[in-house]
Chain A
């Protein structure tokens, strides 16, 4: 391990990668199951994002520590055992902190085990890097995932229930958009965000093209 300084990403770049350039929700379109299912409200989205981020950071650290011990043939099984252990811990922790939240998130807490972001990070990054960069990268990914979930959850809660983090915004006369708290609403909002980001990227490209010309 003696990378040249030119292609070694700085710590800050490692962290930012997951938030902007490789955002799990908006760029890599990973982890769609929790993204679409639990983002009915901002609180659900935030707690789902945080619990996924915690599992992600801890599992990437552990995988990175074991990267030279585990034989290649059984590495996926090892990752799964590590992730499942951590998910079980998070599952019990949420149950202890707030039973209402636990009921709202339902099976999706246990399903963090098979979240492709976590397995993907373990395989693609943590198993090839020392613990510290791996955990920093995982933290960035976790924050990026949380931001992605939150941006869906905020829109869906405002339109679907007229509130934000449970605080009513428009009073009792608000007309809820029923579809926003149903599964199709998740697709609509995610699609709108993706539309917005691609429109923005295209505009930026056009601007750069005119500047260079």
Chain B
């Protein structure tokens, strides 16, 4: 992408937007969220963010250097992966596990598919899914936010030796006489103990010592900045949140005692972060407007279903990964009708297949797709 001469077919008019610029803006919009996260959890969170991002960049550098991957370090995409991955993990997640997750995220989520723009799944979520599968206890061990002395002392599990078990967070809290505070996330409390947190508290994340991620309100504000500058499509977050809220609301309507309120569903866990920053990953979400609605709706529905009926309290990660897997299919089904093709109510498919072959024609060895509907094709024998 950074070559001096580009050889590609027209149109040659260039907009001011480039991949690097979009990615840089996503990083800028993530920075306030990261700062808030550090404010919540102190130096452990800071170390986690730095180490995970560094390991992502390291893996990216290796793949770029060996020439198996397009893109370069300066395009900020690996930085985004690292920041997002760190934000989805508990603040006291051992640093060595974070480094492993970061490496796996870039290698398995991006490097083997060919680098930026070629990945099938969101790399940050691939890394998190690996960490979830490899270290199920560590990734479910949260500590309360706003602990006193959080800027002077690491959460002990952060500093676990490589390959060794992290220290017990509950014992540490007990030692500090803070064992009245729960280290369970609001979703885990709801799932396993039946305690439903107040939605307004969840929205700001400021009150109490709740074990939550960054404030959903802040994430929405940063997402609004991206959407307003057209660096992100607003349809996907709206569709995800709308569908999750609608499904949760219908279930709540059936049985308010059994199912928590839809606002609890929306503001707890990683749903807002996932909807705004992960589901909207350009390479792994549909390009057609209808497809975006379908994709977002699918993710929202799956999230609520996994949370209610799955074994784990949180389902955003798997919902988005399944949505990513369904993206090519959704794109194929929701092709827009080209102008002039919808005559007399008869819908027709696009005259060109919108296959990757066609989209990346500028690349070597790509073939020109065959026209499918040649209306005035001269017939043989006539």
Residues of A within 8 A of B (CB): 162, 170, 173-175, 177-180, 182, 184, 188, 191, 195, 199
Contact = CB atoms under 8 A, between A and B. Distances in A.
Contact of B133 (A162, A173, A182): A182
Interface size on B, as a range, is 10 to 19
B98 interface: no
A188 to B, nearest CB: 8
B134 A170 contact: no
A175 B133 contact: no
Contacts of A170: 163-164
B282 interface: no
A178 B165 contact: no
Contacts of B97: 175
Nearest to A162: B163
Nearest to B111: A195
B218 interface: no
A123 B164 CA distance: 49
Nearest to A198: B68
A194 to B, nearest CB: 10
Given A177-B134, A178-B133, 4 more contacts: A175-B94, A175-B138, A179-B134, A184-B133
B164 A178 contact: no
Interface string B160-203: 11011110000000000000000000000000000000000000
A195 B108 CA distance: 11
Contacts of A162: 163
A195 B66 CA distance: 12
Contacts of B133: 178-179, 182, 184
B130 interface: yes
6 contacts: A174-B163, A175-B97, A178-B133, A178-B135, A184-B133, A199-B66
A173 B112 contact: no
A195 B130 CA distance: 18
Contacts of A182: 133
B74 interface: no
A7 B166 CA distance: 60
A188 B66 CA distance: 20
Nearest to B138: A175
B165 A175 contact: yes
Contacts of B338: none
A177 B135 contact: yes
B121 to A, nearest CB: 14
A9 B160 CA distance: 55
B339 to A, nearest CB: 45
B136 interface: yes
A207 B179 CA distance: 61
B164 A179 contact: no
Contacts of A177: 134-135
A175 B135 contact: yes
Interface in B88-104: 94, 97
Given A179-B130, A199-B66, A174 B164 contact: yes
A195 B68 CA distance: 11
A189 to B, nearest CB: 12
Contacts of A175: 94, 97, 135, 138, 160, 163-166
| Max chain A Cβ within 10 angstroms of own Cβ: one of B66, B68, B165 | B165
A210 B138 CA distance: 48
Interface in B136-155: 136, 138
Nearest to A175: B165
A165 B18 CA distance: 53
B207 to A, nearest CB: 34
A178 B166 CA distance: 15
Nearest to A170: B163
